[in-house]
Chains A and B, each alone.
Chain A
Amino acid sequence: MKASISPPADSVPPSADDAAWRLESIISRLLVAGTYLAMALILAGVLLTLAAGIDPLAHETAPAFELAAIPSQIAAGDPLGFLWLGLVAVLALPLGRVVVAGVGFLAARDLRLALVSLAVLLVVVGSIVAAIRLEG
């Protein structure tokens, strides 16, 4: 006979904090799953690099990053496509976390934190713009 076991009282979050707990749980799942996905893509890229006999240390300059070229590189089985996509996924994860948190705060009518989330994203956009301008 299977005993019915109640969870300990302190393991049940009070309802007042359900939204906060849910938001943290959603972000947690996003980060862990996203990390595994990024690592899987990078693993594919590393294996293809090894199979192609490419020496990572043999070239003088790093391959240029071209976001638009990634799909065609992946379709062609080019390790660069998988490596770039994995690295982009790595960089995108924290941004995804901020977006999800911002939406969560907005839903909870916590406008100050929602604005903070937006400001964080704007700073990252500022980094991108600054890098592009410097490059130009």
Chain B
Amino acid sequence: MIAGLVLLAGGSVVGLFGSLLGLGGGILLVPLLTLGFGRPLREAVAISLVSVIVTSSAGAGVYLRRHVANLRLGMVLELFTACGALVGGLVAFALPVPVLEGMFAALLAWVAVSMLRRREPPPAVSAGAGAEVIPAAEETGGVGVGVGVGAGVPVQPALAPAMVTGAAGQGGAITFAQPMSFAATLSGPGYLVGRLGLGAVGAVFAGVVSALLGVGGGIVKVPLMNLGMGVPLKVATATSNLMIGITATSSAVIYLLRDEIDPYIAGPVALGVFVGASVGARIVNRVDTRLLRLLFVVVLLVTAVQMALKAVGM
């Protein structure tokens, strides 16, 4: 009985801190389950994927209601992330576990360095650096959560409806003198989506990373859309969150059907992450996350070292 409560509490802490810091649940859950609870890495990745889907669905629901996410672009890119996730989900069973542990250690170190280098967003308007799901708690009814990694994203309400509705191809504000390319039809108010080929390749990579390591892949998708395809950061963050659900599902079903998901562990952990993230979304604007983030960088680096040592059998 105690173990069930500990798992629930562990998931809640991960959800809370992920929400406050704008980190993906996976980056925290996988080390917790492997190093903390001694679970096999693949099982931890599978459980993490389930939790990532929970937070993604809740957050995407809010983002869509506020018309922040670009549904059309998200659906096109998620076709490629899903392909990557399919491949990653299969490769995960072929790769030796120490290789996966080494990759995860590298990811932890990368995220820690990214957090250190990130510019501090104004606390009044931000849910922390790069929250991938950062709906205001009062709007979400406590569903809002923070997952994923990207650059700082303001917790502003959705784009003003007058702007949102200007989506190209839907009678919006952007007008085109010539017939629109497919990429242009995925554009939104005030921005033109470009380099769809680059986006497709990057999305496949994000899907592979997600499936192999049990993370949402926002750390790849948000910069890809923002810097590579010309999508505003806020829209990129919301759209990335929307895509996580299908990306993670594509590989999670492989883990499920290969009996890598233990429902006795996945249940309390996913529930805990949901509750913790909901609480985090409610208090995020009242918490100064600067010190928290510094402490967290240390935790991430220590965890990265532990995971690397585990990978080399020490």
Contacts and interface: CB of A to CB of B under 8 A. Distances in A.
Contacts, number: 232
B8 to A, nearest CB: 7
Interface string B64-100: 1101010110011011001101100110010000000
Nearest to A34: B57
B256 interface: yes
Interface string B102-123: 0000000000000000000000
B54 A124 contact: no
Interface string B152-180: 00000000111011010011100000000
B267 interface: yes
Contacts of A43: 271
Contact of B58 (A35, A45, A63, A116): A35
Nearest to B43: A62
Nearest to B40: A62
Contacts of B266: 83, 87
Interface in A81-136: 83-84, 86-87, 90-91, 93-95, 97-98, 101, 112-113, 116-117, 119-120, 123-124, 126-128, 130-132, 134-135
30 contacts: A10-B160, A10-B161, A13-B164, A13-B165, A17-B165, A24-B67, A28-B65, A32-B65, A34-B57, A38-B54, A39-B271, A39-B274, A43-B271, A45-B267, A56-B3, A57-B265, A59-B262, A62-B262, A63-B259, A64-B259, A83-B267, A90-B54, A91-B50, A94-B245, A97-B245, A97-B246, A116-B76, A120-B78, A123-B83, A128-B257
Given A124-B249, A124-B250, A49 B264 contact: yes
A17 B170 contact: yes
A130 B37 CA distance: 30
A54 B257 contact: no
Nearest to B252: A91
B267 A86 contact: yes
Q: Please classify the interface of chain A as helix (H, G, I), strand (E, B), loop, or mixed, using the class held by over half of its residues.
A: helix
Interface size bracket, A side: 35 or more
Nearest to A33: B61
B270 A128 contact: no
Contacts of B53: 90-91, 93-94
A120 B264 contact: no
Contacts of A74: none
B233 interface: no
Nearest to B244: A94
Contact of B67 (A14, A21, A31, A62): A21
B190 interface: no
A103 to B, nearest CB: 13
